[in-house]
Structure 1
Amino acid sequence: MTSPMEMDKLLHVAQSCAPPEAIQLIVQVTEDPHTHTFAKLAEAPTIQKLALTPEGAPYVQLLRLYTTGTWADYLSMAHQLPSLSAAQVAKLRQLTILSLAYQERSLSYATMCEHIGLAKDLRESVRILEELIIEALYQNLFTGRLDGVAERLDVHSVTPRDVPRTADTHNGHDAVFGLLQALRAWRDRSSDAITALDTYKRQVEQKYDARAQTMQEDHAALTDALRNVAQSDTGMVARMRLQETYPDAMDVEANRRTHSKRRSKRTRA
């Protein structure tokens, strides 16, 4: 991605350049493999003035295309734009993949080829596609895993593309609206997740309280039963019945009594 310092240099150059130089600057940034943000340059006063000239208007439109547009947008307006160099074609295809990755977390080769104008079943198309993806991964445009066997790109995170500060174009409105929709969807998912966690927490607490209450009642019942056994002439028979009814609890009680007797003997000694 273009660093703030590099973009500041471009803006400084754009402030004082003549129309021919501004056109060359647009060509340069749309070919540069390390530049992927263009909104600030497109809003520069010199570029805005260039848009009013017959020779400069197509290049400004090209710059706006690289700001938020895709390969499909280019095809729809190619007759209004300058011819693209090989570097510009690769850049626009890469930006298109970036837009797709922002919308979907799992992208098939077939889907990506369709959106960037490559034949789906040709080995050469796969090679070009993988080179574009690998270069984007190296530049941290997105993170993910490229699965050549399954012919799929699994996206983990994405660096968003430009959203124009002045959304005066159709693409600008779409970009702002899409970002707003994405934020609303994230808010709704977060709210649903919090509600689900709160519900689960209450359920766990209720189960814990119910189990604690049951254990307390069982302990009280066992204590009363043992007290009755100690006071009964038929204590042995009753104790055998308790052993059948509360086997675990009786084992615990027996261990407690054995431990108590040993401690008493040690104390007397």
Structure 2
Amino acid sequence: MDQTHTRALEALQPFVHLANSNSATSPRFIANIVTNATSSPHTYVFAELLETPTIQALGSPDTPAEYHGYLKLLEIFAWGTWQEYQATPNLPKLSSEQTLKLRLLSLLTLSTTTKPLTYSALMTALSLPTTSDLESLVTTAIYASLITARLSPASDPPTVKVTAVAPLRDVQPQSLPKMITLLTEWETRCGDVVSDLEAEIARVKNNAAKRRVKEQEYQTLLEEAVKQRAENAGNSGAGSGRGGKKGVFGRLGAAAAAAGTGRNKREFSADDVDEDDGFWDINTDGMDIDEGAGSSSRAAGSRHSKRILGKKS
């Protein structure tokens, strides 16, 4: 679409040069420039031609009345519509090329202002008698890259679905103040949004810095706690180690003292055995089991429990 606008500007330049040339002195010559510019198949923008002094001179009281309408005609081609042309009296009659061009330009405007773009609305606005004429015009606009659209004659109602419009309509000077106001308001809203975003970014950064400080403090406290616990564990381990040695030596001393009692005979009883050894324990008269030779002399005067060996059934 931007290339279409560039081509339209390039196509207008020869007419702008003619309007600025020294030969553009008579109203008839200037009127012919307007006719040729609006009839050319590649010209769709006319604001630069309208701004030339010679074209503006057509509206002067000194210009013959028969040429006054060419200035208004060029304005309609720049930003007007087919309906405006029909509603304005004393305008030059259009050729077939000019008629097609003005209808195409009007279709661009209708595509951006009328929703939905029905067949009936377009036929009324463009003074087209049949649907085939409308479809032919829309097809011409599509192949000329003026619009991107799709015909839907079977829909209810039949419509033209336009998805893109080339920027080929000039801006009417009277609409500039309104556009400036709208753009200024939009700029103010954008500034407010940017300010809100900057404030939100600053808040997020501040919160992130606070979280980092808290994390560092927590990490420091955690390291100190781990270090302190390790030190406490080391101290308690050393104390328990000394106590453990003392307890071991005490138990060894007690064992040595018990060994000095002269008891060298080993006695067996049912309470001394925790696990099943496969034999019955019977507290009846039976065989004595001594640990070794000479045990009978050391065991004189003492009676011990006897264990009778017998296999379990």
- TM-score range (shorter-chain normalised) is 0.5 to 0.7
Q: Which residue of 1 aligns with 2:311?
A: none
Instruction: Provide the rounded CA distance (Å) in 2 between the counterparts of 1:195 and 1:134.
Output: 46
1:39 pairs, out of 21, 24, 47, with: 47
Instruction: Provide the rounded CA distance (Å) in 2 between the counterparts of 1:53 and 1:128.
Output: 36
How far has the Cα of 1:212 moved from its partner? Answer: 1.8
Classify the secondary structure of the residue corresponding to 2:162: strand
Instruction: Provide the rounded CA distance (Å) in 2 between the counterparts of 1:115 and 1:225.
Output: 87
Q: Does 1:131 align with 2:140?
A: yes
Q: Is the 8 A contact 1:108 1:153 kept in 2?
A: no
Q: Does 1:26 align with 2:37?
A: no
Q: Is the 8 A contact 1:31 1:91 kept in 2?
A: yes
Instruction: Provide the rounded CA distance (Å) in 2 between the counterparts of 1:115 and 1:189.
Output: 40
Instruction: Provide the rounded CA distance (Å) in 2 between the counterparts of 1:186 and 1:207.
Output: 32
How far has the Cα of 1:14 moved from its partner? Answer: 7.8
2:98 pairs, out of 88, 91, 94, with: 88
Q: Is the 8 A contact 1:72 1:116 kept in 2?
A: yes
Instruction: Provide the rounded CA distance (Å) in 1 between the counterparts of 2:131 and 2:95.
Output: 22
Identity rate, percent: 22
Query: Runs of 5+ in structure 1 lacking a partner?
Result: 138-143, 164-171, 236-269
Q: Which residue of 2 aligns with 1:226?
A: 226
* C-alpha spacing 1:14/1:113, structure 2 compared with 1 (3 Å): farther
Q: Is the 8 A contact 1:107 1:154 kept in 2?
A: no
How far has the Cα of 1:223 moved from its partner? Answer: 1.2
How far has the Cα of 1:222 moved from its partner? Answer: 1.8
How far has the Cα of 1:32 moved from its partner? Answer: 1.5
Q: Which residue of 2 aligns with 1:197?
A: 197
Classify the secondary structure of the residue corresponding to 2:66: coil
Higher helix share: 1
Q: Is the 8 A contact 1:37 1:162 kept in 2?
A: no
Instruction: Provide the rounded CA distance (Å) in 1 between the counterparts of 2:78 and 2:29.
Output: 20
**Structure-1-length-normalised TM-score:** 0.61
Q: Is the 8 A contact 1:107 1:153 kept in 2?
A: no
* C-alpha spacing 1:148/1:29, structure 2 compared with 1 (3 Å): same
Aligned residue-pair number: 216
* C-alpha spacing 1:125/1:159, structure 2 compared with 1 (3 Å): closer
2:70 pairs, out of 28, 41, 59, with: 59
Q: Is the 8 A contact 1:10 1:41 kept in 2?
A: no
Q: Is the 8 A contact 1:42 1:48 kept in 2?
A: yes
Q: Is the 8 A contact 1:90 1:132 kept in 2?
A: no
Instruction: Provide the rounded CA distance (Å) in 2 between the counterparts of 1:159 and 1:201.
Output: 41
Q: Is the 8 A contact 1:71 1:96 kept in 2?
A: yes
Instruction: Provide the rounded CA distance (Å) in 2 between the counterparts of 1:83 and 1:185.
Output: 43
Instruction: Provide the rounded CA distance (Å) in 1 between the counterparts of 2:160 and 2:108.
Output: 17
Q: Does 1:178 align with 2:178?
A: yes
* C-alpha spacing 1:33/1:180, structure 2 compared with 1 (3 Å): farther
How far has the Cα of 1:92 moved from its partner? Answer: 2.6
Instruction: Provide the rounded CA distance (Å) in 1 between the counterparts of 2:166 and 2:187.
Output: 18
Q: Is the 8 A contact 1:145 1:155 kept in 2?
A: yes
Q: Which residue of 2 aligns with 1:2?
A: 9
Deviations 1:29-51 (A, max 9, x none): 11213223323433444434444
Deviations 1:185-228 (A, max 9, x none): 44234313322331332233134223323322331232122122
Instruction: Provide the rounded CA distance (Å) in 1 between the counterparts of 2:77 and 2:16.
Output: 18
* C-alpha spacing 1:226/1:68, structure 2 compared with 1 (3 Å): same
Instruction: Provide the rounded CA distance (Å) in 2 between the counterparts of 1:115 and 1:199.
Output: 54
Q: Is the 8 A contact 1:50 1:57 kept in 2?
A: yes
Deviations 1:59-83 (A, max 9, x none): 2221122233233432431x33223
Q: Which residue of 1 aligns with 2:85?
A: 74
Classify the secondary structure of the residue corresponding to 1:82: coil
How far has the Cα of 1:158 moved from its partner? Answer: 3.6
- Counterpart code for 1:91: K
Deviations 1:66-119 (A, max 9, x none): 233233432431x33223333323323443455567x77x97544994895378
Instruction: Provide the rounded CA distance (Å) in 1 between the counterparts of 2:196 and 2:37.
Output: 48
